[in-house]
Amino acid sequence: MAKSLTRRQFTTAAAAVAATGSLALAVPGGAANPRPVRVGFVGVGGRGAGMLRHSLGIKGVQVPAVCDVNAARAANAAKMIARAGQKPPDTYTKGDTDFRRMMDRDDLDAVFIATPWEWHTPMAIYAMKRKQYVGVEVPCAITLDECRQLVKTSEETGTPCMMMENWSFRRDNLAVLNMIRKGLFGEIVHCHCAHSHNCVSWYTGKKWPAKHLLKRCADQYPTHSLGPVLSWMDINCGDRVDTVVSMATNQWGITDQLSRRHGKDHPSAKLDWKQGDIVTTMARTVKGKTIVINMDMQLPRPYDNRWMIQGTRGLYNEQRDAVYLAGGGKGHAPEKWSPFAPHQTKYEHKWWRGKDSPGGRYGLSGHGGVDPLELTLFFDAVRNKTQTPIDVYDSVVMSCIFPLSEISIAKGSQPVKCPDFTGGKWETAKPKFAVDGSPVA
């Protein structure tokens, strides 16, 4: 989904290289002649076409095949690939399941999936069974059973599956992560995050997202909220989400906007939309920390994420673009906000440090440079046969808030347990995302 950004968000949104397990990369995409990575694209509409365009600008990425139920979109993607100097790809356009024919090829190292949500998990599972790395758009799953299937298949096949949650890689969020890991905020206690973005036109303008609003009431888009939060709070690396409680307002916003746009008698304005306007989810971790997650996507408003991470010695507030630090323990520090900019400079993540860093090279294209960097990291993992920056466990934990919130709301905002998708691995796992070993950061 395209996202509108404020000037500050656009200039600070960025990406960083992540290390997970054995992932130990040189500068992403930095090799003069990197070994080719052959990737097939499934879904080349708006988001898929955008990510294809970025991929074609990354050294060593080859696209021999594209799949889309819309033949015109597939043809447009083929033209993009040819214009990039590559051989025109084979196209697969014979209905919903033609992706299988594409994935049955023996010349694909990876697939990128940008389709309607209900196809994300089936397509990812089919690709993993073919030993193809999976990069799948958000959310990677929309039911708890799908979450379990993704984990089971990845574990059984040994094939990584990465949900492409780009806000995990923003420049500002990674600097905050470095500050947390340096202990500036003390013991992390609480986080607030949100996806605040009027998406009524997007949701109701297409049949597949509209049907989710008609049938379900949940936090239907939790991953942009939670992207940086998992690493900030060591989720799946020493702690995990234990209990979730959600509640939703009634629905007024969709009907009001459609009525104003099309008239009160328009069929869409008379539909019984089930999705509440604002969904608030509270999550408690095994170690007793809390997260508040807001979905605010149906009322008129500017874009905002409202990140706030708070510890025993201070906090960061994205809306204020500021931090507060309690000082060194000798008396009380003045209760005054400090601008974030100097802290970002001091604690800049290594992948944004200097104009020749990956972030510096990509500039502001693709959500402030985030998208091409995220893709570069994914393709480097494929090339090196290492773990992807975001693994399958983090992917499903971000996505499972969708079905968990739906269950809680349906039960009158009763607490529901979050499954341990790691099978106990979280207890001994060390922090792995975007580890920055620099003595400066």
- pLDDT one-digit tens code per residue, 151-199: 999 999 999 999 999 999 999 999 999 999 999 999 999 999 999 999 9
Q: Where do the CATH 3.40.50.720 domains begin and end in the chain? A: 7-167
Task: Write down how long the chain is.
Answer: 441
| Location of each CATH 3.30.360.10 domain in the chain | 171-348+392-427
Give the CA-trace dihedral at 106, 108, 114, 120, to 10 degrees: 50
**Per-residue pLDDT at 27:** 44
For residues 306 and 226, what is the distance between their CA atoms, to the nearest angstrom? 11
Instruction: Residues 7-167: name the CATH superfamily.
Output: NAD(P)-binding Rossmann-like Domain (3.40.50.720)
pTM of the model: 0.91
Q: Is 354 helix (H, G, I), strand (E, B) or coil?
A: coil
% of the chain beyond a pLDDT of 70: 87
Structure tokens of 183?
């202990």
Give CATH for domain 171-348+392-427. Answer: 3.30.360.10
Q: What pLDDT sits at residue 360?
A: 59
pLDDT at 438: 65
Cα 228 to Cα 169: distance, rounded to the nearest angstrom: 8
Token representation of residue 131:
């030993």
Model pLDDT, residue 350: 83
251: Cα within 13 Å, side-chain hemisphere: 21
pLDDT digits (tens, 9 = 90+) for 407-421: 999 999 999 999 999
